[in-house]
Structure 1
Amino acid sequence: MSENSLRDLDRQLVELLGKRIALLGRSHPNELTPDSTIEPSELQKAGVPAFVWQDVVSGCTAALARSPLSVEGEPSRRIAIVGGKGMMGRFFQNRFEAAGHEVRLLGRTDWDDAKTLLGDVDLALISVPIDRTLDVVRDTAKYLPPTAVLADITSIKTPIVEVMLAAHSGPVVGLHPMFGPGVESFLSQKVAICPGRDPQASQWLIDLMDRDGGDLVYCTPEEHDRMMVTIQAIRHFSTFGLGVFLAEENIDIGRSLDLSSPIYRMGIDTVSRLFGQDASLYADIMLANAERRESIARLAETFTRLAQLVQAQDREGLIEAFHQATSTFGDETERAVRESDRLINAMSVLLAADRVLQRQTPPQ
């Protein structure tokens, strides 16, 4: 088949997928079982593997979680992203501009123009490293009109929301996007929302993330910070520690993947992803407050205790520790198996496609 023929066929597929998504959007919720419209025998007859059809079905259904970012009649707002020249700032710039808003970026060298950049904005979004956030909040608030929303996207909320409320007399909201670089939209991405003052004034911002498919979770700054000890500090330290260990053991990561299961590969991908990002960001997350540092120390003590059981060949002790931990997870294990099975299947498809492409690509 020629390249043009393949491109024409792809265009037809795109048009059909668009029609399928539109039809799903008009369906009654009880009718959203679209995979039942095709029998396995029909797939076999057409030479289409079941996983291809399942991916099409899931993708079309997931598309219903998003709406157009731009809403007819909604005013265009002026938004300043302080620290907006970083990766997260660029992400928010992209989504705001896609919704039709005017975006201004204020970096380290732009403070001479702060009065012009900030003096008439509807939203000032602080997107700077944790160790600079409090000072930048105070500096930004000096130039804001009282009607402007002051928001941040830092991973610590209690002290930052307190300072925003003290520094700015207008609307305040603390945000924490629970994702990093590489994400293209808010689709299924968690965003913690900590209301500070006048939540109605920032509702348009919340609505924008919701239309883009965001999974928005409200909490107090205090609850957020308690949960982040586990969600961020402990998890990142565990990943960081495993990566340092593998490096010190001089493990050939590529060769280990040749012999690994998909679960191992997913774990190594998580470790490798961390070491492909900004070291200072993860150091700041782990060192952010005493509660995080103390929890990391307790985790290290747990690893030491378990390692001692291994050294002593204490099989019963290890099994007992296993069973004690099992009760904490309860029904979550069923969800974890279900979700991880889907991830494994998706990874299998991706790896199969990569192998085909590698075979078709002539050597350089």
Structure 2
Amino acid sequence: MKIALVGDKGRMGRLLTSRFSAAGCEVAGVDRPLTPDTVRPAVQGADVVILCVPVEVLAEVLSIVAPLLSPKQVLADITSVKVRPMEVMQAFHAGPVVGTHPLFGPDPQDDHLPVAVTPGSSARDADVTLVEQCFRMIGCDTFRTTAQEHDRAAAMIQGLNFISSVAYLATLAHNEELLPFVTPSFRRRLDAARKMLTEDAALFEGMFEANPASQDAVRSFRSFLNIASAGDVDVLVDRARWWWRTHDDRGGARQ
């Protein structure tokens, strides 16, 4: 199998290049500056062409890449949102389109490597299976979903985690008088948010703005804050404990 990676010098591009190569795939990579002359030899003969580029430059990259693809080649991406990228890829490429979202970063900390797969309208089952096989060869666990389902989930898991952390820490910022009162639990929250806000903020901002479900997620969160402002904190605590349900609570094994 030949896999072409457009954007192979980025953090995720480097990770995938290394792992696909180690799995025995023929890997061809190309990165900036992208021109027809640099892209053509990379994508020629590739079974799957994977775009490892930010969502905001997807259309620009496709304007160069898509004219060089045959209708038989499978076009995929790894962006963290899916509705708009899928629309853009299908507008540029007449062949099969399969969206993917590796739900792990460029420095995975464990062997749990889930990948969401969103089949495009022009993709046959064989095309989707081919993309799934690519990721399974490098130890990933794939599951299929729709672009809409993906973006709703991503808005809640990634987007809301980002925006609620930003809002909380921005609320407390520039209050020097708070510093003597900092607790270990607050420091743990700072530590958890440090990389997201000091290194990856632009990435998460882009994901939040590109996801059509982001505002619905914020409105849902605000409704729960309203419960807290009414004094019904116990209701929130009871609901939040869902994450630590036991075998008996759920009538089955923990998932």
- Report the TM range for the smaller structure's normalisation: 0.7 to 0.9
- In the TM superposition, what is the alpha-carbon distance from 1:230 to its structure 2 partner? 0.7
- Counterparts of 1:163 and 1:105 in 2: how far apart (Å)? 22
Q: 1:104 aligns with which of 28, 50, 60?
A: 28
> Secondary structure of the residue that 1:104 maps to in structure 2?
strand
**How many pairs does the alignment contain?**
243
- In the TM superposition, what is the alpha-carbon distance from 1:139 to its structure 2 partner? 3.0
- In the TM superposition, what is the alpha-carbon distance from 1:110 to its structure 2 partner? 3.1
- Mapping of 1:31-110 within 5 angstroms? 77-110=1-34
Matched, 1:193 2:117: yes
Matched, 1:209 2:120: no
For 1:175, the equivalent position in structure 2 comes to: 100
Matched, 1:275 2:187: no
For 2:249, the equivalent position in structure 1 comes to: none
For 2:253, the equivalent position in structure 1 comes to: none
- In the TM superposition, what is the alpha-carbon distance from 1:154 to its structure 2 partner? 0.8
The C-alpha deviation readout for 1:329-349, integer Å capped at 9, x for no partner, is: 5754326xxxxxxxxxxxxxx
Q: 1:155 aligns with which of 73, 80, 89?
A: 80
The C-alpha deviation readout for 1:158-205, integer Å capped at 9, x for no partner, is: 2222332332233321001112232277x2122111122023135344
Matched, 1:323 2:235: yes
Listed as ranges, the gaps of 5+ residues in structure 2 are 247-255
Larger radius of gyration: 1
Percent identity over the alignment? 30
Contact in 1 for aligned 2:49/2:75 (Cα 8 Å): yes
TM-score (ref. length: structure 2): 0.80
- Counterparts of 1:83 and 1:212 in 2: how far apart (Å)? 19
- Counterparts of 2:85 and 2:194 in 1: how far apart (Å)? 31
Q: For CA contacts below 8 A with separation 6 or more, give which structure has more relative contact order.
A: 2
CA gap of 1:220–1:249, structure 2 versus 1, over 3 A, is: same
The C-alpha deviation readout for 1:197-256, integer Å capped at 9, x for no partner, is: 023135344234335442322111111112222112111111222343454335669x95
For 1:234, the equivalent position in structure 2 comes to: 160
For 1:260, the equivalent position in structure 2 comes to: 184
The C-alpha deviation readout for 1:264-318, integer Å capped at 9, x for no partner, is: 5553332112124232211111211453135335635754x467x3xxxxxxx42
Contact in 2 for aligned 1:239/1:270 (Cα 8 Å): no
CA gap of 1:105–1:240, structure 2 versus 1, over 3 A, is: farther
- Counterparts of 2:212 and 2:136 in 1: how far apart (Å)? 34
For 2:250, the equivalent position in structure 1 comes to: none
Contact in 2 for aligned 1:172/1:199 (Cα 8 Å): no
- Counterparts of 1:124 and 1:283 in 2: how far apart (Å)? 26
> Secondary structure of the residue that 1:142 maps to in structure 2?
helix
- Counterparts of 1:243 and 1:225 in 2: how far apart (Å)? 25
AA partner of residue 166 (structure 2):
F
Contact in 1 for aligned 2:23/2:138 (Cα 8 Å): no
AA partner of residue 73 (structure 2):
A
CA gap of 1:277–1:165, structure 2 versus 1, over 3 A, is: same
AA partner of residue 82 (structure 1):
V
AA partner of residue 210 (structure 2):
A
CA gap of 1:184–1:145, structure 2 versus 1, over 3 A, is: farther
Contact in 1 for aligned 2:151/2:212 (Cα 8 Å): no
> Secondary structure of the residue that 2:3 maps to in structure 1?
strand
- Counterparts of 1:247 and 1:182 in 2: how far apart (Å)? 30
For 1:35, the equivalent position in structure 2 comes to: none
CA gap of 1:301–1:244, structure 2 versus 1, over 3 A, is: same
For 1:58, the equivalent position in structure 2 comes to: none
> Secondary structure of the residue that 1:248 maps to in structure 2?
coil
AA partner of residue 283 (structure 1):
E
> Secondary structure of the residue that 2:76 maps to in structure 1?
strand
- Counterparts of 2:234 and 2:65 in 1: how far apart (Å)? 50
For 1:223, the equivalent position in structure 2 comes to: 149
RMSD over aligned Cα atoms = 3.0
> Secondary structure of the residue that 2:45 maps to in structure 1?
coil
For 2:208, the equivalent position in structure 1 comes to: 286
AA partner of residue 9 (structure 2):
K
- Mapping of 1:108-123 within 5 angstroms? 108-111=32-35, 112-123=37-48
For 1:144, the equivalent position in structure 2 comes to: 69
Listed as ranges, the gaps of 5+ residues in structure 1 are 1-76, 310-316, 336-364
The C-alpha deviation readout for 1:81-119, integer Å capped at 9, x for no partner, is: 112211111111111111122322222313142222223
Q: 2:244 aligns with which of 333, 337, 340?
A: 333
Q: Which has the higher helix share?
A: 1
AA partner of residue 164 (structure 1):
M
